[in-house]
Amino acid sequence: MIDKYTPEDFGNVVVLMGGNSAEREISLVTGNNILNALKRNNINAVGLDVQDDVAEKLLQLKPDRAFIALHGPGGEDGSIQGLLNYLKIPYTGSDVAACAVTLEKTYSKLIWEVLGIPTLPFRLVNDIEAAIDAMQYFGLPICVKPTNDGSSVGITKVTEPDQLPEAFKKAADYNKRVMIEPWIDGLEYTVGILGDTPLPVIEIRTPRTFYDFEAKYNEETTLYICPCELSAEKENELRYLALRAFQVLGCSGWGRVDLVANRAGDYFFLEVNTVPGMTDHSLVPKAADVMGINFDRLVLEILSYTLTSNVVVETNS
């Protein structure tokens, strides 16, 4: 699709990065990688660290479109998408509603439950008493996590009852809404989405307790198996189930769907990332590369979706 466009078709592009979430530093790396790719391809692009007065700065820059490279709250919750809608600036990725649903993990899971897409049962807890009740209900081990952050921040695997208070406090420090799920000891997978195409499945292996922030960005011991070791038939089934899990939440453009499998081979979808990382450790570029799509082409492909604008411009009837 990208081959039919020229740099002039994209006009002036602003790459929105940084922000104030717990994933700020990763967002800056993602954003600068994207910005450099755009410049290598002769696209007139500038970076903007989204902190104070972002609306005023956008009005000054007058971009023709925006590449959103913001992770977590402020970037994946619909906030920046709503502002860009108001300013009538087309942008990459999913719209306001889809972002709001996916960043709040419990909303995604409720929709999946209704539509029969496999996901783990959960309890939403607001205090330690409710957390204890959830632990007793599910049994150990359990996963304690904030409901609206990415990059595995604030997540703890609880294997002993006396670990729960600290795990709850850690999650609540990021968000007062804390989610508890049963912990699945099995395999971790992820499926990138590019347009209407699910990318090859990646199996993630780490010697750490789970694929946490350190395993994602700092460890060199994490293994990414792609092509994965599933049969071709099973992988294809999983890819298109992931695409459905993505689309039923209203997501579009690009993203990533994370899931786990238990030892019996049953799959459980965990969450959708509407602005995945684009660092040298990130998963969507790794999967795209297996399909013969290098980083620069991936960036241009994502940007090309803004040419069929997701911003509704009013017209006279």
**Residues 37 and 2 sit within 8 Å (Cβ to Cβ):** no
Tokens of 249: 């939440």
Q: Which of 94, 148, 151, 310 is catalytic?
A: 151
Q: Which of 273, 282, 304, 310 is catalytic?
A: 273
Question: Around 138, how many Cα atoms within 13 Å sit in the side-chain half-sphere?
Answer: 25
**Residues 311 and 298 sit within 8 Å (Cβ to Cβ):** no
Strand boundaries in 25-136, DSSP class E: 44-49, 65-68, 123-125
SS (H, E, C) 211-280: CCHHHHHCCCCCEEECCCCCCHHHHHHHHHHHHHHHHCCCCCCEEEEEEEECCCCCEEEEEEECCCCCCC
Tokens of 188: 């971790």
Instruction: Please say if 188 is a catalytic residue.
Output: no
Instruction: Please say if 217 is a catalytic residue.
Output: yes
How many Å apart are CA 216 and CA 152, to the nearest integer? 9
Q: Which of 256, 267, 304, 305 is catalytic?
A: 256
Instruction: Please say if 310 is a catalytic residue.
Output: no
Of 240, 131, 132, 120, residue with least CA distance to 183: 120
Q: Which of 18, 19, 21, 23 is catalytic?
A: 23
**What DSSP character marks residue 91?**
B
Instruction: Please say if 82 is a catalytic residue.
Output: no
Q: Which of 104, 149, 235, 271 is catalytic?
A: 271
Q: Which of 217, 235, 253, 304 is catalytic?
A: 217
Q: Which of 49, 277, 282, 305 is catalytic?
A: 277
The residues that bridge with 268 in the sheet, in sequence order, are 260
Residues 6 or more apart in contact with residue 122 via CB below 8 angstroms: 106, 109, 179, 180, 181
Instruction: Please say if 271 is a catalytic residue.
Output: yes
Instruction: Please say if 151 is a catalytic residue.
Output: yes
Q: Which of 258, 267, 305, 310 is catalytic?
A: 258
Instruction: Please say if 177 is a catalytic residue.
Output: no
Instruction: Please say if 104 is a catalytic residue.
Output: no
Torsion of CA 85, 174, 31, 14, to 10 degrees: 20
Task: Give me the count of residues in the chain.
Answer: 317
Active-site residues, by number, are: 23, 151, 217, 256, 258, 271, 273, 277
